[in-house]
Amino acid sequence: MLRVAVIGFDGALASAITGIIDLFRLAGVSWARIHSEEPDPRFHTRLLTRDGGPCRCINGMTLMADGRWDTDDPADVIVIPTIGAFIPDVLKRNQALIEWLRQQDSKQTLLASNCTGAFLLAEAGLLDEKQATTHWGFSNQFRQRYPRVYCHPEKLVTVDGNVACAGGGMAWWDLGVYLVERYAGTDVARQLAKAFVIDAGRTSQAPYGALQTKRYHADRTILELQDWLDANYTNPVTLRDLCQQTGLSERSLFRRFRAATGDTPTTYLQLLRIEHVRQRLESSRQAIEDIIHSAGYEDVSSFSRLFKKHTGMAPGAYRARFAR
């Protein structure tokens, strides 16, 4: 069986540990039991801590470990769960783990993280020049701390070489199903998703994101421009308008806006309009075409493609899932 090591540390999110262990240990098992067949477990999964002692999670639960992560017994897959405690404190307390993770990169091991667990991989330098994701709410903090990482907070799962990252919260579902499919095959993964009632078709965490996180910066000029865009996004807006508002050249505007928000001004304007449509889809029964027009778009089909690109769903599907 494939060997999986889930790394425990104080301040971790308990559900991200126990949940993914459940997925691995019941892959090839739950579906068989449902159909009165002989279970065929595919993974040997252990919870490992620095000294083999208990893992004290952020919710007050204490999880008993199966061993130490610095043991000579290697794993094929190493999973870093969500950091539930204050991230800088957890990074400071786990320098030995970070160094150990750095050493695993030279081995034939897949390294995976869920949510803010990506901070530990990035701290070890394992995500430099690679595609990664993390919880959308911590993406700006992540980008500022690790500028060499190509962070895609809209994605639920990223895979680059021997490193896989999952997005926020319960995205360990998606990470677990992906890893089961990678190592045990499509049929086992599909059966596992059905047994656990997991929506295996999810690809984006963008529907759960908040545009407000793009204001977590200190560039006063860009903040003032964001205020102006908030008030004017339903009107036609040109690059010349933005330069006039800030007094910046096009080159300086693009450089500073991206440094502050992680996006270009054009993308940010699109996100404002998408957020407008999202909120209307959630809270009203107004016709979708009328909602799109109220956001400043005349071409409904073009905006629908843009909306799906950023949220992973067409406007109608988004309303069906999130309408209140």
pLDDT digits (tens, 9 = 90+) for 237-255: 999 999 999 999 999 999 9
Between CA 79 and CA 5 the distance in angstroms is: 6
CA dist 166 and 184 (Å) reads: 19
Q: Mean pLDDT over residues 202-218, rounded?
A: 63
Global pTM reads 0.70
Burial of 323: CB neighbours in 10 Å, binned 0-12, 13-18, 19+:
exposed
The pLDDT of residue 154 is 79
pLDDT at 191: 87
Q: What is the mean pLDDT of residues 170-175?
A: 88
Instruction: Using the predicted structure, report yes or no on whether residue 297 has a pLDDT greater than 80.
Output: yes
Q: Tell me the pLDDT of the chain averaged across its residues.
A: 90
Query: Considering only CA atoms, which of 269, 227, 221 is closest in space to residue 247?
Result: 221
What's residue 206's pLDDT? 63
Q: Residue 105 and residue 275: Cα distance in Å, rounded?
A: 39
DSSP 3-state of 55: strand
Region 83-102: mean pLDDT is 96
User: What confidence category does residue 19 fall into, taking pLDDT thresholds of 50, 70 and 90?
Assistant: very high
Q: In this predicted model, which residue has the larger pLDDT, 63 or 263? A: 63
Whole-angstrom distance, CA of residue 273 vs CA of residue 303: 9
